[in-house]
Amino acid sequence: MQKFPEAHDLLVSEGATVEITPVAPAPMRQLLRVHNSGYLRKLAHGTLTDKEVYKLGLPWHPRLLHRSSLETAATVAACRYALDHGMAANLAGGTHHAFPDQGLGYCVLNDVAVAIGELQAKHSTLRVFIADTDAHQGNGTHAIFRGDQRVFTYSIHGERNYPSAKEAGSCDVGLPRDVSGHHYLTALTDTLPDALDSFPADLVIWISGADVHERDRFGQMKLTTEEMTARDRFVIDWCLDRRLPLVVLYGGGYHREPGMTARLHANTIGTAAMAFRARPSGHDRPARQPDLTDPYQPGAPSLR
């Protein structure tokens, strides 16, 4: 899990134009909007079965729930901040394999679902577009929001990669194993704009994913660092051009070279921060302002 503090340190040491704000763990009442009390109790008390630990892919630890609640709180705060100011990021998050009653594939809590639940508890008509460009399908998020007309779930991923049992989302783009960067970018630019155009979103939550890189251990994709930057610019510019509030989340990343996963995520956040800053004055507010009457508290790592 070194990739999380490493990305933080890179952004700080390189003077990226970001303001980093710590958060307190997400309260249990927020987690319970998505997760079963029985599952949360197992996480709190270390009573997951061996099979559940195996499927999660992480050993239980007394601070596992605490750490995951912090990660979730940062996504909640980033969403609030982006709605008010246009863009924000989480230096973790995007744990899209987590289901209400079980963790899968290193994902303990579904931070995106908890964040949307929290926002919609106050603003029930808020419409959220989840853009998932991680190498793996966002099966947990897909399942949670299936049938919810207020949430659009887009995922571009390896068709034969984990998870083996895919869940249907609003738009799924399955790619072949070892897909080239050119093919990936063509598929992305052919499908994401139409999906975004089809859904009048108030907020875009982007699970970026550093595991599409050609040197990743699990991604089974072949994007170069430059092609990842092209991916990032495409998603970021698309949202900025339309003044759509954007939240950037980490997703997965398992690079063969130590430190490179953090480098790639810091690149994504740095690219977002630069693009946001480069907009002319007055473009730092979303054009489509949902009816938000509650004053939000400042929160998570944010791009300003």
| Binding track, positions 110-149, relative to Zn ion; x by CB under 5 A | ------------------------xxx-------------
Nearer to Zn ion by Cβ, of 111 and 134: the residue is: 134
Site for Zn ion in 204-233 (CB under 5 A): 211
Size of the site for Zn ion (CB under 5 A): 5
Shortest Cβ 213–Zn ion spacing (Å): 11
Instruction: Compute the distance between CA of residue 193 and CA of residue 185 in angstroms, rounded to an integer.
Output: 12
Q: From 173-181, 203-211, 223-231, 277-285, give the range in contact with Zn ion by CB under 5 A.
A: 203-211
Shortest Cβ 237–Zn ion spacing (Å): 23
Choose which of 103, 245, 252, 270 interacts with Zn ion (CB under 5 A): 252
Shortest Cβ 210–Zn ion spacing (Å): 8
Instruction: Compute the distance between CA of residue 232 and CA of residue 216 in angstroms, rounded to an integer.
Output: 17
Shortest Cβ 136–Zn ion spacing (Å): 4
Shortest Cβ 72–Zn ion spacing (Å): 18
Q: From 15-23, 148-156, 196-204, 247-255, give the range in contact with Zn ion by CB under 5 A.
A: 247-255
Peptide bond into 163 cis (omega under 30): yes
Token code pair at residue 182 = 């050119």
Nearer to Zn ion by Cβ, of 30 and 155: the residue is: 155
Instruction: Compute the distance between CA of residue 179 and CA of residue 183 in angstroms, rounded to an integer.
Output: 6
Q: Which residue is nearest to Zn ion (CB)?
A: 252
Contacts of residues 169-174 at CB distance under 8 Å and 24 or more positions apart, as own/partner, are 169/137, 169/138, 169/141, 169/142, 169/145, 170/195, 170/199, 171/195, 172/137, 172/142, 174/137
Candidates 229, 28, 19; CA nearest to 114 is: 28
